[in-house]
Amino acid sequence: AQKVTQAQTEISVVEKEDVTLDCVYETRDTTYYLFWYKQPPSGELVFLIRRNSFDEQNEISGRYSWNFQKSTSSFNFTITASQVVDSAVYFCALSEVGDDKIIFGKGTRLHILP
């Protein structure tokens, strides 16, 4: 069975601090995809990144970086030098080969305090 766990329900940090959002997943497949989505206060769900299970290279996009480790079944997301605009709920998600569904974690609500 597939499962995504985001143990941090809510995090608050002061602006300019770095923050890491944890994501742990479970799957029996060897080929799968992992995702991160952002849901700002306006409510829409914004796609951030997709990673396939064969690519364990870390990825950096501006202030955002992702650390994928198959050995620990984790796909963590770090925001460097956080800004107030980063305040949102962040969802980690998983999809398996042969299944069009994406399974979402419960989300982590991130507050960036000015």
Partner 1 sequence: DAGVIQSPRHEVTEMGQEVTLRCKPISGHNSLFWYRQTMMRGLELLIYFNNNVPIDDSGMPEDRFSAKMPNASFSTLKIQPSEPRDSAVYFCASKPTGRLQETQYFGPGTRLLVL
**Interaction site with partner 1 (CB under 8 A):** 33, 35, 37, 43-47, 50, 52, 91, 95, 97-98, 100-107
The smaller minimum CB distance to partner 1, of residues 17 and 55, is found at 55
Cβ 106 to partner 1 shortest distance, Å: 5
The answer to whether 35 and 92 are in contact (CB under 8 A) is: yes
Cβ 44 to partner 1 shortest distance, Å: 5
Cβ 42 to partner 1 shortest distance, Å: 9
The smaller minimum CB distance to partner 1, of residues 35 and 79, is found at 35
Residue 111 to residue 113: CA distance in whole angstroms: 6
Strands (E), 24-113: 24-26, 32-39, 46-52, 59-61, 64-69, 74-79, 88-96, 103-104, 108-113
The smaller minimum CB distance to partner 1, of residues 15 and 106, is found at 106
